[in-house]
Chains A and B, each alone.
Chain A
Amino acid sequence: MSRYGRSGTLVASGTPGRSGTGHRAGSPGYASGLTIAIVAGVLLGAAIAAPWLAPQDPYDLASLRLDHARLAPLTRDEDGTLHLLGSDDQGRDMLSAILYGLRVSLGVAGAGTALALAVGLAAGLGAAWRGGRLEALIMRVVDLQLSFPTILVALMLIAALGQGPDKVIIAIAVSQWAYHARTVRSTAATELRRDYIAAARGLALPAWRILIGHLLPNCLAPVVVLATAQMAAAISLEATLSFLGLGVPVTRPSLGLLIANGAQYVFAGQYWMSLWPGLVLLATIVVIQHTGEQFGRAVAGGVSRR
C-alpha cells in the first residue's frame, strides 16, 4: 500500500501487505492467496514471454495452412510439428494462439483500464476541486453514462468508430471512466475537508501542488481497487466484443475471439478450440477479481484503523 500513500494518512495506516487481509503462513487464506499469486505469475509471464514460448507465430498468415486445421490435442501435423493443445480452424497452433491471445486480451484490457483510470481521475479530481457548475456538469455526465449498460456504450462506440484494438481500448475507457470519476470525486470531496489540505492551503501552495502532491495520492487507494475489478470487466468486455465479431481483427485473435471461432465446432465434438482459451480466460478473470478483492480488504483494513 505504501506506493499509494506518499503523504497523508494511509502511510501511517499499517505495514504493507499484511495490513488488510491478515493472512499468515499456514492459514487457508494464505494458501489460496499463494495459488492465485502463482497462477497470476504464470499467466503474466506467459503473456510477456509469448514470442519466445510459442512454437508458432500465429500472426504470420503465411505460416497458416488449412491442411493443418482442427487437429486434436497431442497430434502431429504432416510436417511433424506436435500440437500440444491441438490446432484451430485456420491451422493455428492452439498453444501459440492462446499465448498470443492472452497478450492481446491483457494488453487491450490493461490499456483501456489505464486510460479510463486517467480520465476518471482527472474528471473526479477536477470536479471535487472546482466544485460548483463544473462539478454539477461532470457528475451529471457521469450519471447519464452510468445509466447506460456498459456493453451498450461499447457497442455504440464500436459502431461509430469502427473496429480494431485501439477502438476497443477507447470503448473500454469510455465505458468505464465514469465509475472512476464518481469514486474519485466522492473520496476527494471528503479529503478536501481534512486538515492536511487546509494546512497545504495555509502554506499558499499552488493549486497543482495541492492537487497532485497531496490530494491525488490520498484518493488513489479506493480507485485502484476499483480499477482492478474494472480490469476484469474490461477483459470480459473485450472478449464479448470479439466474440460478437466486433473486437480485435480475426487475424490477431484475443482469447474471446478464439472462443468464438471454436464455438462453431462445439457440436461437432471438437471441443479444444474453445475449451482451452476459455479456461485461460476464466483463470485470468478469477485471478484479477481475487486480487481486486484482496486490495479492497487491505484498503478497508487500513481505513478502519485510521
Chain B
Amino acid sequence: MTIDPRQGAGVRMMCSPTSARLPGRSAGLRLMVGLVLAVLTALGVADAEADSAATRPAPALRIGLAAEPTTLDPHAVNIAPNNALAWHLFEALTHIDARARLIPGLAESWQAIGATEWEFRLRHGVRFHDGSPFEAIDVVASIERARRLPNGQFGSFVQRISALRIIDPHTLRISTSTPYAALPLDLDSIFIISHRNAMASSDAFDRGEAAIGTGPWRLRRFSRGEGVELERNDDYRGEPPQWQTLELKVYSAERSRMAALLGGDVDLIESVPGADLVRLRGNARYSVAQAVSWRTLFFHADERVPEKAAAKDYPLANPSVRQALSMAIDRRAIVDRLLDGAGLPASNLVSPGVFGHDDTLPTPVFDPARARALLAQAGFPAGFDLTVAAPNNRYPGDARIAQAVAAMFARIGVRVRLVTLPVNVYLPRARRGEFALALLGWGSFSGDLALRSLLATRDPARGNGGWNWSYYSSAKVDRLLETAFGEIDLARREAMVRAAMRQAMDDVAVIPLHHTMASWAMTRSLSYEARTDEFTLGHHVRHAALPR
C-alpha cells in the first residue's frame, strides 16, 4: 500500500476556503509554492505579471472573494460573505448605497404613521426569477421565515415587529411592540423570498430550488468549496448587470487572492493587503478602489469577575486598567507599519460618517508611561497575566495585529498569552467567553444597532447584547438606546446615540483599535465604486470605458 502522508483532503475539509483553489493538492505543496514564490520574487520574476485578463473582452466576470459563503439561505447565517452573496440573488425592502445611506429597495417609500406603525409602499411590476410577481404577501412570508427559522440569525432584526397588515398587494403596514425608529434600517437585513418558499429548508436553498429572489442575478451553480456561478437576470427591475455571467471564487489567503488576480484567474479581488495596494497603485495594468469601511476592530474585555476572585484582584473589571491597556496600544504604528496605511485609528465603535459616530471623542493617546502609572494606581504595579485572542484568517492582518498588541502590552508589564485561531474555531470559543481579551470586527451602518448588539446589557429575549463579550452593562447606555429606538426625529435620535456612544467609550467598554479600509483591486478595464459596507457586488462592477 502506498500512502502519501500529506494528501490534501484533510486540509480541504478543515480550512476549505484556503485550499479550495488548489483542489487535491497538499498543504505541504502550498508551503513549497510559497517558498518558490518567495524565491521568484527575490529574483524579480514575479514582476512579469500576466496581463491576459486585462485585454480579454469578458462577457463573463470572475471575482476573487476573501471568504466563503456558507449557505444560500438568506435567513440562516448572518455573516458578511453570505449577505454579500444574498445581495446578488435577493433584495430587501430597503437598501444601503455605497456610502452607507439608506435608499429604497423593493419598497419605493415608507413612512411612520403613528408611534408604533409604519407603512411601506412596494414597487409595482417586480418579478421573481420564476416569473411570479412580487407582492406584500412575500414580505410577510420572508419576515415570518426570518423570525421562525430554527437557528436563524436574522430574528433579532424583526424581534420588535408585532403585527403585519396587508392593505393591498403593494401596501404593507408593520406594527412594532414599542416605538422603534430603526425599523427601516433593520429591514435592510431581511431578504425577500417568494412566499412559495416560505417553508423551504436551508438545504432547498443550497440545492437552488428555493434560491429564487428578485435580485439582478439568477443562480446557476452553488457548491461549497468550489464557488458560485450566476447569470444575469434579464427581467431585473433596475439597471441590469453589464455581464452575462458572474463567477465568484474564494481565495481566503491574501497571497493566493493576489496571485489569482496577477495570474489572470479572476478580474477583480476584494480585501487587498495594504502592502500589495501600494505596489498595485504603481502598476498600469491594474486599478484599485479604497474607502474607510464600516468595520471597526476592537477588543472586548471580559468584565466578569471569576467566581473565586475578589473584584479588586480581577484587573479587567477596573475601568482604569482597561484605560491603561488602551493607552498602551500604538494605533498609528499598527495602521502604518502593519497595514501599510490601510486603516484609521478608532475612537468610536462605528466609522466616521456612520449614524451615531461621535466626532468629539478623541482617539486614545499612546502613552506607555502613563499606562504603567495607571496600572500601578489600580493595584497592579507588577502587571498581570492576560489571555489575548484573535482570529487569524478573518480581518486584514488580524493575527499580526494581535501579536503587535501583545508586544505593546508586554512593555507595560502585562504578560500576554496570545491565542490565534482560524475564525470557525475562534468565534464559538470567544462566544463562550473563553478569552479575557477577544478581537472582534464589527460592521454597522448605525451606531444604535452596533451598541445594541455589542454593548447593551445582555437580554436575549429582546435581541440585546447578543455579541456583548465584555458583559458590559450600563443602565445609562441601555436607557439612552431604548429612548433612541423610540425617537422618530432623526436629529434627536442621533444625539441620544452619540451620548450612549460617549458613555460606553468613556467606560472603556471595549478597547477600540481602528476602522479598516475596504479595498478592491481589478484589471484596468474595470471599475468598482468602493463600498463602505465592504460588499463586493458583481452587478456594480462596470466596464471602465462605459459611463455610469
Contacts and interface: CB of A to CB of B under 8 A. Distances in A.
Interface of A: 60-62, 64-67, 69-70, 89-91, 146-156, 159, 163, 175, 233, 236-237, 239-240, 243-246, 249-251, 256, 259-272, 274-275, 278, 281-282
Contacts of A256: 31
Given A149-B4, A150-B6, 7 more contacts: A62-B410, A90-B407, A155-B10, A239-B28, A243-B34, A268-B273, A275-B38
Interface in B272-290: 273, 275-276, 278-279
Contacts of B416: 61, 251
24 contacts: A61-B416, A62-B410, A66-B330, A66-B338, A69-B338, A89-B338, A91-B407, A146-B1, A151-B11, A153-B10, A155-B11, A156-B10, A243-B27, A244-B18, A245-B393, A246-B422, A256-B31, A263-B34, A264-B275, A266-B41, A267-B279, A269-B41, A275-B35, A275-B38
A71 B7 CA distance: 36
B180 to A, nearest CB: 42
Nearest to B393: A245
Contacts of B273: 264, 267-268
B403 A251 contact: yes
A64 B10 contact: no
Interface stretch (B251-259, B357-365, B502-510, B523-531): B251-259
A236 B416 CA distance: 28
Given A70-B337, A265-B275, A271 B400 contact: no
Contacts, number: 179
Contacts of A245: 392-393, 399, 420-422
Contacts of B278: 268
Contacts of A152: 7, 9-11, 13
B34 A240 contact: no
Nearest to A252: B418
B262 interface: yes
A250 B421 contact: no
**Which among A67, A152, A267 has the highest number of chain B CB atoms within 10 Å?**
A267
A268 B258 CA distance: 10
B54 interface: no
Contacts of A271: 38-39, 41-42
Interface residues of B: mostly helix, strand, loop or mixed? helix
B406 interface: yes
A70 B397 CA distance: 15
Given A150-B5, A262-B38, A61 B262 contact: no
B7 A149 contact: yes
Nearest to A152: B10
Interface in B1-58: 1, 3-11, 13-15, 18, 26-28, 30-31, 34-35, 37-39, 41-42, 46
Nearest to A233: B5
Contact of B5 (A66, A149, A268): A149
